[in-house]
Structure 1
């Protein structure tokens, strides 16, 4: 498999059933390591939470990305899954903002 790309959604089973995860680590890291950092996508409505990014009509799935629910996925975990597509550029910008809040970045 080629390196996972930032903003791409992959299906992976990390012990709780097959769920969608958005790659949030940078592409250089993704090319050089056997893991990626990913944020969970949920279909449960999350309103009023600044670290939850609602997916819009230009995105491949409905729901929200939880910028404060991050895990490390191994390449074989996402290789066994499927790509659901990529977030829209506008959603990636919103996710960047939410990640900053979740990680306490200025």
Structure 2
């Protein structure tokens, strides 16, 4: 895990392996740190490099982010610790604010 933590922090990007059907893909952790510390599962959204329609729930990543592509805020998954392969770095604060807004759109909050 990142920064000496025994749990993934919100905003960190991990390669996660969800099995043969899905393969290894990047995900950004979106659940809050208190939940991540208390539970053995983490909420995350998938990151893709595929073209997607312009929707408020699809967030373009910024050049300063450690990966390229889009965060699919309407593609929320539960990850287990054993799914996480490697930490790719943390999203910028500005991107995480936009991802938070994308989650609000996706969940009608």
Bin the TM-score by the shorter chain.
over 0.9
Equivalents in 1 of 2:32, 2:89: separation in Å? 17
Picking from 4, 20, 23, the partner of 1:17 is 23
Equivalents in 2 of 1:89, 1:45: separation in Å? 24
Moved over 4 A (4+): none
Please report the RMSD computed on the Cα atoms of aligned residues, expressed in angstroms.
Answer: 0.9
1:12 CA drift (Å): 0.7
Unmatched segments (≥5 aa) in structure 1? none
Picking from 46, 50, 63, the partner of 1:44 is 50
Equivalents in 2 of 1:89, 1:54: separation in Å? 14
TM-score of the pair, normalised by structure 2: 0.91
Equivalents in 1 of 2:63, 2:51: separation in Å? 15
**Residue 92 (structure 2) aligns with:** 88
Figure out how many residues of one structure are paired with residues of the other and give that number. 103
Unmatched segments (≥5 aa) in structure 2? none
